[in-house]
Amino acid sequence: MLVFTGAQIILSMKLIGLAFDISSEKTDLPGGATYLGYVFCVGTVIFGPWTSYHDYLHAVHQNRIKSFVSWDFMHTFENNTKLNVMVDKITNYNNHFTGIFIM
């Protein structure tokens, strides 16, 4: 049985998103420490939301004196968290009552 957890899917999405950012020339190839910081960002590594590498760099390098928190990022985080909980409840509800498992 092949089972993917949410964290593995988020890590895969981050790798694919970085490839798209590099191919569209939004960013350059990051160094090892910078890439690991993006991949294992505490706010997004386990449950999401997935953020693009370009948005991650913007959030990390913003002027901390003007704004400690990016409100756009927080709004996106809130919406994605609500969507994540809703989809999780729907899929767990269906799997619990129908007994469907992905093999």
Task: Say which residue, 12 or 49, is predicted with more confidence.
Answer: 12
| Crossing angle (nearest 10°) for helices 32-39 and 53-60 | 100
Per the domain annotation, does 1 fall within a domain? no
Number of domains into which the chain is organized: 1
> Does position 25 have pLDDT exceeding 70, yes or no?
yes
**In-domain check, residue 103:** no
Both structure tokens of 68: 């400690």
Query: Does any domain span residue 44?
Result: yes
Cis peptide before 49 (omega within 30 of 0): yes
Q: What is the pTM of this model?
A: 0.52
- Residue 25 DSSP one-character state: T
Residue 94 within any structural domain of the chain: yes
Tens-place pLDDT, residues 60-98? 877 554 555 667 777 888 888 888 888 777 776 655 555
Domain that holds residue 67: 6-98
Q: Is 38 within the bounds of a domain? A: yes
**10 occurs within a structural domain:** yes
